[in-house]
Amino acid sequence: MSLLWNRTQTTKRGPRPRFTLDEIADAGIALADEQGLDAVTMHAVAERLGTTKMALYRYVPGRAELDAVMLDRALGQPPDPVAGDWQTSLAAWARLVYERYLARPWSVELVQRPHPPGPCELAWFEAGLHTLAGLPLTGGEKLDALALLSGQAISIVRQQAFASTPEHDLAAALAPVFAERSSSYPQTAAAFADAADGGREGALRFGVERIVAGLEALARDRSDPAGTPVS
């Protein structure tokens, strides 16, 4: 945990350190960007930095700690909140989360592993919770709302990692089946035929809009007895 909160500092014992934790994280990130997360090992990171694996352990005790500083470094600080009502701001937050993960798709693997959130990840929590501050929700419900939105973003990024156009590829794969057996799957065939070519952008927008609408309905149900909407 202390590594995440002091990653720009160097260690204090022994000879003057050659690297900061941010520099080590950047080396791991570069490897993940170029070759994928499987290529990131303590040995590979050390080699990229021009040092030895044993020397690297002086800075990070193991792979779990390396993953933690890489993830926090990759997420970075959230942008300034988008102006507008809470619905607009929350939808924009979800979109920004998606864009940050999409820039480095391997980060969705790290964020879903058990880990203590670092300062940047907590800053994203803080930004999201700020948009929900005026709603009649418990703290747990607000965290669940952010989990739903970030989960939607992560699921779309994960699909993109396997195929650049997953919806189109699936429709193409099913076309011969529907051509011969559409009567066996009439609803599915009709849905694919009617689906707009929105791709992952459409799927992200649809999911975020539905989650935000659900939160809005819940807030309305918990509004004052006169039924004044929560803004």
The pLDDT, as a whole number, for residue 180 is 79
- Statement: residue 12 has pLDDT above 70: no
The pLDDT, as a whole number, for residue 212 is 97
The pLDDT, as a whole number, for residue 224 is 61
- Statement: residue 228 has pLDDT above 70: no
The pLDDT, as a whole number, for residue 202 is 83
2 half-sphere exposure, CB direction, 13 A CA radius: 6
Q: What angle do CA 195, 212, 208 make, to 5 degrees?
A: 40
CA separation for the pair 69, 26 (Å, rounded): 9
Mean pLDDT confidence for 61-70: 93
pLDDT tens for 24-34 read 999 999 999 99
CATH 1.10.357.10 given to domain 86-221: yes
CA separation for the pair 106, 37 (Å, rounded): 6
Whether the domain at 2-75 and the domain at 86-221 fall into the same CATH topology: no
Q: What angle do CA 28, 32, 37 make, to 5 degrees?
A: 105
Angular region, 119: left φ>0, alpha ψ -120 to 50, beta rest: alpha
Cβ pair 125, 75 in contact under 8 A: no
pLDDT tens for 72-118 read 999 999 998 888 899 999 999 999 999 999 999 999 999 998 888 89
pLDDT tens for 37-63 read 999 999 999 999 999 999 999 999 999
Q: How confident is the model at residue 213 (pLDDT cuts 50, 70, 90)?
A: very high
Helix (H, G, I), strand (E, B) or coil at 139: helix
Listing DSSP states for 197-213 in one string gives S-HHHHHHHHHHHHHHH
The pLDDT, as a whole number, for residue 178 is 73
Radius of gyration of the chain (CA): 22
CA separation for the pair 12, 58 (Å, rounded): 11
Which of 170 and 19 is assigned the larger pLDDT? Answer: 19
What percent of the chain is predicted at pLDDT more than 90?
63
Listed by start position, the domains of the chain span: 2-75, 86-221
Q: What distance, in Å, lies between the first and last C-alpha atoms of the chain?
A: 38
User: pTM, whole model, 2 decimals?
Assistant: 0.81
Classified by CATH at the fold level, domain 2-75 comes out as Arc Repressor Mutant, subunit A (1.10.10)
Angular region, 50: left φ>0, alpha ψ -120 to 50, beta rest: left
